[in-house]
Structure 1
Amino acid sequence: MLRYKEIKLMLLQKISRMSPLDKLPSRLVLCKELDTTRSTLDKAIKELESEGILFCRDGSGTYVAAPAGYDRKRPENWGIIVPDVNESIYAELVRGVEDVAQQMNANLILCNFDHDPLKQEQYIRRLILTGVTGVIIVPVIRKDSNEARQLYSILTDTEKPIVFCNMQVEGVQAPVVMSNGFFGGYLATRHLIDRGYRHIAYLAKYRYRTSEERCQGYLTALLENGLEINRHLIVLDDENSDPPGYYGMLKLLKSGAPLDAVFCFNDYLIEGVYRALEENQLRISDDVGVIGYDNTGICKRLKPEAASVSYPSAAIGQAAARLLKKIISGEPISEFPYYLFQPAIVARDSCRGPVL
């Protein structure tokens, strides 16, 4: 078989996994992917054009042709993959995406992966098979960056438009819409300092990019205010901690380091922190101030109500949806597609100031 015929068959296999009007990768990328020369590839594409399978737009690229009667205005199908829609920050994010999808006449396919990497991978593969137009995804937390890169390359290899929310994935070239974690960590720590706390701990569940950014903000606030950085006050919670934050708080108390406040990586650690403090006859706010992150419903259910950093999830969802639509429509986006939203403090009674 002639080489260009082999390339044509390989292109047909690739096209079979794509939707009408989807854009093919660039000629340079295709040459590398199919291990062929530019002239051979051009000949195969030209034949597919003559057969009505592909069409080219000058300066824009090569696209999958639409069959006769195909309605370009029919609703697009967008996928959105989140860790747990029962958590308010993700429910609000989905609502933000949904509001824009409705305006854009797009259907939304919601996938909830329950913080399970395997389940997220299954959803990614299903969305590809169903021919979604694009995907908005909150990446799963993975300690191994290579595993994360391999997981999301499933999407990028198909040339599906993708937008990440809340977290960047190293090694994957895709737009990111998220809150400024560094500034949020700085705000939370400064809020405690402004109320008179001086020996402030940072408690996180895992060590990964987002928790490190918030920790850097925490450290910056301490340094800016001339406070000592005590490494014994930077702690990761035990993975089996029940409720979350409990064992981490006990670890802080047992360290013997002076302690009068705790900045929790997120609100889900606060309940365990409260329990550990109460079991050790320590008063919340008076003896140890506590502040969380995300401003979820947990904060108002606790007594005293917990201060937190507000995370603009709905706005992030709306921005991600508008960005996805831009990519789908072939509109140009920034060469540095990294979009940050600024967080804000929500003051409550968990850190009014120490009472000596």
Structure 2
Amino acid sequence: MSRYKEIKNNLLQYILQLPENEKLPPVRELMKKFNTSQVTLDKAFFELKNEGIITTHVGRGTFVSKQGVYPKSFYYRTIGMIISDPKVLYESIIINGAVKKLHDEGYCITIFPTSIYNYGNYEFIKKAAGSRSICGWIIIPNYNTMYDSEFHKLVNEYISKHSPFVSIDHLLTANSSMTIYVDYYLSGKQLGNIFLRENIKRIGFIWNPNSNPCQQRLNGIIEAGRENPFDIWFIQYKSNLDNYGVSYIEPEEVYRAYESGVNTFVISNPLLISSFLKLYYEGINTGRLSEKHVKVAAYIEPGQQVIIPGNFIKIKKPSVEIGEYAAESIIKLVKKEDIILPKYFKCTIEVPENWATMG
């Protein structure tokens, strides 16, 4: 590597740690800092100005470039990814899809976790957003951040002011450069149509009323039954956020619903599956439930390994495709290319052949 290229790279790494519009030190100070001549420094400055990284104002000095100018430098090809917990299967599949696509396109990825253990500690994200070392962001909100005003402030006042970002799903639609939607409403409507076809009128809906995906899926079911409304028994689940968001269903609520004539249940959150299966088999063993008379529509993530009875409808979300599309979209936003907004990813539904004959 030539001497001036080495100086340029060192200078670039130094500049990218500075906030927008920060004035650079005097030339003599930079010459001393990087142990170089003014000729070499001027040549490096010339290229950095052409790449939009710095601007020079006669009589005022040299400054870190204005917001919104995305340099072509390799060092400015890093995507920040804000996640909650990569051990959560759905999230890990999205991450894998996005990371592979970004790597294929020559981008680097920096992961910023916001799990329950560092919930609210966003200083490291603020510094990264302000340093201009990140050219774009992919944000996967979680149950903590979706209701956290500080997180929304972080996105609106730091991230969005420095670079574009893509938000997965509905949680940051107000100020996001782009939001990728999963059409929970459509899956709910598809379920409702299946229930109508099988003449199922009473439904146990296991949900969190504060969850937008749950509400969308419920709206879809209600729309399907507009002319012939369903009788819906609501069962609210509980979440323990101190234990990675593990959710819990009160067995007695399910048993009471069943004893009141409900034999079809919709599980609206994948974290509920293990809890429901536990009470399902306990109910069968104790005689509180009948295996032949209980049907379940469960939200199953791609690749999720669960042992389920044959009377489960599986609702799947195309997680890998979401990650790939998020990566494609943020690359286009960084390059200031046109994209189509928004894109909906439809949930797919698998119905066992014998589902209609169970019970």
Contact 1:85 1:91 survives alignment (8 Å): yes
- The letter for the 2-side match of 1:314 is V
Most deviating of 195-204 and 119-128:
119-128
Structure 1 332/296 Cα, relative in aligned 2: closer, same or farther at 3 Å?
closer
Matched residue SS, 2:204: strand
CA spacing shift, 1:260–1:112, aligned 2, 3 Å: same
Aligned to 1:347: 351
Say if 1:115 and 1:140, in contact at 8 Å, map to a contact too: no
Measure the CA separation in 1 of the matches of 2:298 and 2:68: 49
CA contact (8 A) 1:199 1:259 kept: yes
Q: Contact 2:126–2:159 at 8 Å: present in 1 too?
A: no
| TM-score when normalising by structure 1 | 0.72
What is aligned with 2:44? none
| Structure 1 residue 145 displacement after superposition | 7.1
Could you say which residue in structure 1 is the equivalent of 2:342?
338
Identical aligned residues as a percent: 13
The residue aligned with 1:235 is 235
Provide the rounded CA distance (Å) in 2 between the counterparts of 1:48 and 1:220. Answer: 65
In the other structure, the counterpart of 2:175 is 172
* Length, aligned pairs only: 307
Over 3 Å counting, the alpha-carbon distance change for 1:80 and 1:173 in structure 2 is: closer
| 1:215 alignment partner in structure 2 | 218
* More off after superposition, 161-170 vs 189-198: 189-198
1:157-208, Cα deviation, whole Å (9 max, x unpaired):
5322110013332532431112111112222343344445331121124513
Cα 1:157–1:340, aligned 2, differ >3 Å: closer, same or farther? closer
> 1:1-356 counterparts in 2 under 5 A?
14-16=20-22, 47=57, 51-53=61-63, 63=69, 72-74=73-75, 76-114=77-115, 118=119, 121-122=122-123, 124-125=125-126, 127-128=128-129, 131-141=133-143, 144=147, 146-205=149-208, 207-223=210-226, 226-230=228-232, 233-240=233-240, 244-247=247-250, 249-254=251-256, 257-280=260-283, 281=287, 282-284=289-291, 286-298=292-304, 300-304=306-310, 306-334=312-340, 337-348=341-352, 352-353=355-356, 355-356=358-359
SS in 2 for 1:262: strand
**Cα displacement (A) at 1:96:** 1.4
Give the stretch that moved more between structures: 302-311 or 80-89.
302-311
In the TM superposition, what whole-angstrom CA distance separates every residue of 1:72-100 from its partner, at most 9, and x where no partner exists? 24561111122222222212211211222
Q: CA-to-partner distance for each residue in 1:210-260, whole Å, 9 max, x for gaps?
A: 221112112222335x13343xx123202349973421x532433564311
Report the CA distance shift for 1:299/1:84 in structure 2 as closer, same or farther (over 3 A): same
Note the residue ranges of structure 1 that are not aligned, 5 or more in a row: 1-11, 25-44
| Paired residues of 2:82 and 2:138 also in contact (CA < 8 A) | yes
Report if the CA contact (8 A) 2:139-2:167 is conserved: yes
Output the CA distance in 1 between the equivalents of 2:238 and 2:215. Answer: 17
Alpha carbons of 1:271 and 1:197: their partners in 2 closer, same or farther (altered >3 Å)? farther
The 1:326–1:355 alpha-carbon spacing in structure 2 relative to 1, beyond 3 Å, is closer
Distance, in Å, in 1 between the alignment partners of 2:114 and 2:180 is 20
The change in CA–CA distance for 1:287 and 1:120 in structure 2 (over 3 A counts) is farther
CA change 1:297–1:48 in 2 (3 A) is farther
Paired letter, 1:209:
N
- Distance of 1:217 and 1:141 partners within structure 2: 22
Q: Quote the offset at 1:321 in angstroms.
A: 0.9
Residue 110 of structure 2 aligns to a residue in which SS?
Answer: strand
Q: Aligned in 2, Cα 1:125/1:46: closer, same or farther, shift over 3 Å?
A: closer
- For residues 54 and 186 of structure 1, do their structure 2 counterparts lie closer, same or farther at Cα, with a shift above 3 Å needed? same
Partners of 2:195 and 2:77 lie apart in 1 by 47
Q: Which runs of 4+ in 1 moved over 4 A?
A: 19-24, 48-52, 142-148, 240-243, 296-299, 303-306
Counterpart residue identity of residue 164, structure 2: P
| Cα distance between partner residues in 2 of 1:341 and 1:315 | 8
Residues in 2 aligned to 1:151 and 1:301: alpha-carbon distance in whole angstroms: 41
Report the residue type matching 2:135 in the other structure.
Answer: T
Per-residue deviation, 1:128: 2.3
Where does residue 28 of structure 1 map in the other structure?
none
